Every structure is written in structure tokens, then in C-alpha cells.
């Protein structure tokens, strides 16, 4: 497989197509000026005439000739291309709106046939790829023009660096990684966007501020309408426990740098976090964005399937293109199983739409070479399509279990501190004992509920209020213990524990809580008023 560095550049691809006498080429790019500058250099080297057409200016010769021609009608523009002489490349800017006219489509098909006999090529330059079905076989090739690479972005940055304060110039000279971090943050922007945001950062902070650059990427994401830019509100220190998972992520913090490429490291693909609800899977995804200083994009799979028939496939392509455009970035897909749970029956329920969208997604996940790190979370592993769990889709599959004693102490400490209280004023050992079988989310909500009680009574948060709230809470390990035990059994040989202290087979979910408080009364299937503690014990033995 070709890597990004080994692949033919867009200009090289166009040169090959011209030499192979491809008559009709479609180039997709929002960077009209940058594409035309590259084509101009190509035509000068190959001694070809370059003529560019637009509805506002007609034809204008950009290379190996001069002059203009006031031909603004789309049909007459095609005729001009057909009648042209010699070696030439013709570019039609923003021609896609005119392809709604049957006569224009028909004439373009005629041109594609006639130009094969000549040394001329016709190139449609558009920011979108909208080809009518009648024209699909006539378009010889579709080229997605590359965004500026590292060298181009670095050159833009260094050009602006000349007008920076001396202190910033000295920093760039003394710190070899300074410009590299700036370039990494700006990858995915167009040349104009990169120049604008560098200038804005320089005016605002007198340096290349990374936050300002990421803010520019946020605007691109908002325009897509399918992805949500998630602000970095959570820090990595807000994640309690899960030391193995956190260590894995910390080691890959610099994996997207050119130094990592030179070392021979492949780009990380992503991770799948499976486990008990409330154990910090989503929180981890949010915190990684802050740790890696990369844009965090949240994908709601439901938005992909909204809209007209046929738009779902286009939506997933838009999501992938947008994520790659702002790369390096993190793509977070929460509760993945809910979005793709109907893949198996897709042919009978939705005409195969879900299956096609899922197929596009996992193919991209397997083959992608762009620096987009995918973090997918799932609560119910049994609803996930088996193709998603195949080796190669993700770098690692982690199982997030209920926190153990040390993890619960860490979680309590974090949430008490976040409420601006001193953890040393609380009996953490007693609270850790009481929170057996509690998830991190349940511990957090217990702290919040106790804070409400303290506010209502005019007092302050204390051990008594916390203990009372915790004893009133029935953890998920009780209400969903069969599902949790099933997930633990699945993960025992198929996933890596997120915590290093989870190597030993865990006891049945809810056993610790019930040992302290007994099984809850009146649960699902219980007879009214009957204590079910014995039934609970018998079920655990089974």
C-alpha cells in the first residue's frame, strides 16, 4: 500500500492523465488559485497552452500565449474548446451548476469523444464533485487536489515569521520543534486559510498561537453540519483509574509528528472502548483532545441517516472528507452500537442503506492513511457488527470495567476537588468501602446530589451527606448485573483491560454491594413485598 509520501502528487497525477490523452478530467478543490498556479507551471514545462474559463470573464490564456476571449455562454465555451488548435489544456471553473441542462451535458459528452483524437484536454475545476449520471462514463478521471503539505505550510509560516517580533523569531530558531508544532496544527487548512490564521495569531498574540489555529479548524467543522467540534473542557487528570489505557494514550501523544514518521512509526488508527456504562469511556475521549492538543470531532451517527434517500452515503463521505481536511484530528463516535446495530437486517429494513454506510466507514477505517485517530465507544458489545471487531480496524480494543478500590479513591478525590473542597477533610477510606460496585459516573452523581442536599440545608458537603446518598443509590452493577457479567466474560479473552489491576477474573457484578446492603427489594420479576436477598445469592451461584 502506498503511503502519503509515496503517492503521486495531484499535479503529477494530472500530468500522467494528460500524457495518457485523457480528454475530460474532473478536479475537486476549493483552492482555485493554487490549482491554477500548479497547472500553469505544468503547462509551461510541457509547452502547452493553458486557457481558463469562467462565467464572469470568459476565456483567459494563462500560459504559453496571451489574450482573452469574451465567451461566457457554457455551450459556446465547449465549442471553443473543441475548435481550439495545438497542444492545450482548458480549465472550466465552477461548471457544475450548468450540468443541470441536458444540452450542456450532451455537448460535454461530445467534446469528451472528439478531444480523444487531439492533443487537448478539458479539465472541470469545482469545489464539489457533482457529476450527472449521463456524464459518469465520459469523465475519464476524478482528482481530489491535495491540500498543502508540510513543506508548503511551513513556507507560509516562515514567510510571516519575518514580520514577527524578535523574541518569536529567536524562539523559532532555538526550538526545533516550535515550527513543527505550528505546521502540525495547521495541516488540513487551505493555503489561504493557513496564511489568514497565522496572520491572525501573530496580530493577537505576537506568535503562532496553537489555540487560534485550532479555532480556525473549528469553523470548517461547523460548516459541515454533520460533525460537532468538542471544546477541550476536560483535562486528562480528570480521568480516574484506567492506568493501562492512559499510559497507552500518553505514549502515542507524539505519534503524529514527522519525527515519529522518520523513526518508522505508523500512524495510530484508533481504539475501541467497550465496557460498563459510566466507567469513563466518553470522558477519556474528551480528555485525549486536550492531552494531544488536537481538534476533537464528535460524530452523531444518527445525523448520517437523516435526510433524503441516497443522502446517507453522501453524508458519510462528507464526514470522512471533513475529518481528513482538519487532520491531524480525533474523531469520537459515542455509543457506536446504536448507530450500526441494524447492519445485519439492513437489506430488509432500509434497502441496504445502513449496510452501505457501515461498509464505507469500516473500509476507510481499515485503509485510511490520513492522521485521523478514531475513538469509538460502546456499552453493549453484543450489538456490534462482528466485522468491526476484526484485527486491523482498531489498534486496540480496551475493556473498561467498574473501578477497583484504588480507582474509586482517585475518582472520589477528583470530584471532591472539582467541587472546590479539600479531599483530606473527608474519610476517603470509608467512602471507598461504601462505593463497592459503583461506576465513576455514579460516584460523580452522588457527590453532586450530596452537594445539593448541603446547599438546601445551609451546611457544607461532608461525610455524613455522602454516605447517606451512596447508601440510597442502587448501582448499575445490581440493575444490569447479567449484562455486565456477560460483557466481562466476552472481554476476558477478546479485549485488553483498561486498568492494570483488572488482570484477575473479577467477581460477579454487584456481589460487593449486595454483601453490604443485601439485594434490592421489589426489583424486576420480584413478588411484591418479598425480600429477594436469597434469590439474588442463588442467581450469583448459578
- Identify the CATH class of 405-436+440-474: mainly alpha
pLDDT of residue 238: 85
Q: What is the DSSP letter of 21?
A: T
Percentage with pLDDT > 90 across the chain: 44
pLDDT of residue 522: 44
Contacts of 250 (CB under 8 A, 6+ apart): 236, 291
Region of residue 427 (left: phi > 0; alpha: psi -120 to 50; beta: else)? beta
3.40.50.300, 3.40.50.2300, 3.40.1410.10, 3.30.70.600: CATH of 10-144: 3.40.50.300
Strands (DSSP E) along 42-201, which ranges? Answer: 49-54, 58-63, 68-69, 88-93, 120-126, 141-144
pLDDT of residue 327: 81
Strands (DSSP E) along 322-363, which ranges? Answer: 329-333
Give Cα separations from 431 to 213, 276, 341, 405, 467 (angstroms).
44, 21, 38, 10, 7
pLDDT of residue 254: 87
- Residues 523, 524, 526, 527, CA torsion sign: positive
pLDDT of residue 539: 38
Strands (DSSP E) along 206-341, which ranges? Answer: 227-230, 270-275, 296-299, 329-333
Q: Tell me the C-alpha distance between 415 and 65, whole Å.
A: 71
Lookup: cell for 541:
451461584
Decide if 10-144 and 236-400 have a common fold.
yes
pLDDT of residue 508: 65
Cis peptide before 507 (omega within 30 of 0): no
pLDDT of residue 542: 31
Q: Tell me the C-alpha distance between 140 and 22, whole Å.
A: 6
Q: Do 252 and 310 meet the contact criterion of CB atoms below 8 Å apart?
A: no
Contacts of 192 (CB under 8 A, 6+ apart): 31, 33
Q: Of 368, 388, 209, 214, give the one whose Cα is nearest residue 297.
A: 214
Per-residue pLDDT of the chain (542 residues), as tens digits, is: 333 333 578 999 999 999 999 999 999 998 999 999 999 999 999 999 999 999 999 999 999 988 889 999 999 999 999 999 999 999 999 999 999 999 999 999 999 999 998 999 999 999 888 889 899 899 989 998 888 888 899 999 999 988 888 888 888 888 878 888 888 888 878 899 899 999 999 998 888 888 888 788 777 777 777 888 887 777 888 888 889 999 999 999 888 887 888 899 988 999 999 988 888 898 998 899 888 888 889 988 877 876 544 577 778 888 888 888 778 889 999 888 877 765 555 444 555 678 888 888 888 888 888 889 999 998 888 888 888 887 778 999 999 999 999 999 999 999 999 999 999 999 999 999 999 989 999 999 999 999 999 999 999 999 999 999 999 988 888 888 888 888 888 888 889 999 887 544 455 666 666 666 666 544 433 433 344 434 443 333 33
pLDDT of residue 307: 56
Q: Tell me the C-alpha distance between 222 and 122, whole Å.
A: 34
Alpha helices in 125-267 (DSSP H): 150-161, 166-174, 178-186, 191-205, 210-224, 243-251, 258-263
3.40.50.300, 3.40.640.10, 3.40.50.460, 1.20.140.10: CATH of 236-400: 3.40.50.300
> Where are the chain's structural domains?
10-144, 150-220, 236-400, 405-436+440-474, 518-542
Q: Tell me the C-alpha distance between 194 and 281, whole Å.
A: 34
- Fold for domain 150-220? Helicase, Ruva Protein; domain 3 (1.10.8)
pLDDT of residue 300: 83
Q: Do 498 and 474 meet the contact criterion of CB atoms below 8 Å apart?
A: no
Amino acid at each position: 500500500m502506498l503511503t502519503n509520501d509515496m503517492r503521486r502528487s495531484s499535479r503529477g497525477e494530472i500530468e500522467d492523465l494528460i500524457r495518457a490523452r485523457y480528454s475530460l478530467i474532473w478536479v475537486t478543490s476549493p483552492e482555485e488559485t493554487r490549482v491554477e498556479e500548479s497547472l500553469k507551471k505544468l503547462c509551461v514545462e510541457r509547452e502547452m497552452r493553458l486557457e481558463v474559463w469562467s462565467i464572469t470573464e470568459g476565456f483567459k490564456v494563462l500560459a504559453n500565449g496571451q489574450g482573452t476571449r469574451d465567451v461566457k455562454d457554457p455551450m459556446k465555451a465547449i465549442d471553443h474548446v473543441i475548435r481550439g488548435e495545438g497542444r492545450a489544456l482548458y480549465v472550466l471553473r465552477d461548471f457544475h451548476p450548468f450540468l443541470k441542462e441536458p444540452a450542456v451535458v450532451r455537448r460535454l459528452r461530445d467534446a469528451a469523444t472528439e478531444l480523444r483524437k487531439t492533443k487537448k484536454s478539458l479539465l472541470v475545476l469545482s469545489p464539489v464533485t457533482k457529476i450527472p449520471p449521463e456524464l459518469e462514463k465520459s469523465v475519464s478521471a476524478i482528482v481530489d487536489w491535495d491540500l498543502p503539505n508540510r513543506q508548503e505550510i511551513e513556507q507560509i509560516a516562515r514567510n510571516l515569521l519575518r514580520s514577527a517580533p524578535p523574541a518569536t523569531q529567536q524562539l523559532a530558531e532555538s526550538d526545533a520543534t516550535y515550527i513543527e508544532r505550528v505546521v502540525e496544527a495547521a495541516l488540513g487548512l487551505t493555503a489561504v486559510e493557513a496564511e489568514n490564521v497565522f496572520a491572525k495569531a501573530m496580530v493577537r498574540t505576537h506568535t503562532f498561537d496553537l489555540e487560534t489555529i485550532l479555532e480556525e479548524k473549528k469553523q470548517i467543522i461547523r460548516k459541515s453540519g454533520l460533525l460537532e467540534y468538542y471544546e477541550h473542557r476536560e483535562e486528562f487528570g480528570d480521568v480516574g483509574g484506567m492506568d493501562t489505557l492512559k499510559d497507552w494514550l500518553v505514549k502515542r501523544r507524539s505519534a503524529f509528528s514527522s519525527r515519529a514518521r522518520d523513526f518508522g512509526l505508523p500512524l495510530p488508527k484508533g481504539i475501541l472502548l467497550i465496557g460498563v456504562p459510566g466507567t469513563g469511556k466518553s470522558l477519556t475521549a474528551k480528555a485525549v483532545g486536550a492531552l494531544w492538543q488536537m481538534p476533537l470531532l464528535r460524530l452523531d451517527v444518527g445525523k448520517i441517516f437523516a435526510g433524503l434517500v441516497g443522502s446517507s452515503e453522501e453524508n458519510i463521505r462528507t464526514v470522512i472528507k471533513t475529518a481528513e481536511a482538519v487532520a491531524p484530528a480525533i474523531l469520537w463516535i459515542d455509543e457506536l452500537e446504536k448507530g450500526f446495530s441494524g447492519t445485519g437486517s439492513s437489506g430488509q429494513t432500509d434497502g441496504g442503506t445502513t449496510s452501505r454506510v457501515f461498509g464505507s466507514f469500516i473500509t476507510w477505517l481499515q485503509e485510511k492513511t490520513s492522521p485521523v485517530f478514531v475513538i469509538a465507544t460502546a456499552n453493549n458489545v453484543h450489538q456490534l457488527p462482528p466485522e468491526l471487531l476484526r484485527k486491523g480496524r482498531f489498534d486496540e480494543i480496551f475493556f473498561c470495567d467498574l473501578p477497583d478500590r484504588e480507582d474509586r479513591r482517585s475518582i472520589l478525590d477528583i470530584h471532591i476537588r472539582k467541587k472546590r473542597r479539600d479531599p483530606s477533610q473527608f474519610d476517603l477510606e470509608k467512602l471507598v468501602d461504601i462505593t463497592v460496585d459503583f461506576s465513576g459516573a455514579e460516584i460523580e452523581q452522588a457527590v453532586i446530589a450530596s452537594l445539593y442536599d448541603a446547599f438546601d440545608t445551609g451546611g457544607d458537603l461532608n461525610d455524613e451527606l455522602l454516605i447517606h446518598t451512596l447508601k440510597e443509590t442502587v448501582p448499575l452493577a445490581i440493575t444490569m448485573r447479567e449484562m455486565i457479567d456477560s460483557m466481562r466474560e466476552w472481554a476476558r479473552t477478546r479485549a485488553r483491560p483498561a486498568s492494570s489491576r483488572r488482570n484477575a477474573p473479577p467477581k460477579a457484578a454487584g456481589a460487593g454491594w449486595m454483601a453490604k446492603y443485601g439485594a434490592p427489594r421489589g426489583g424486576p420479576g420480584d413478588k411484591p413485598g418479598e425480600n429477594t436477598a436469597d434469590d439474588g445469592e442463588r442467581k450469583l451461584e448459578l
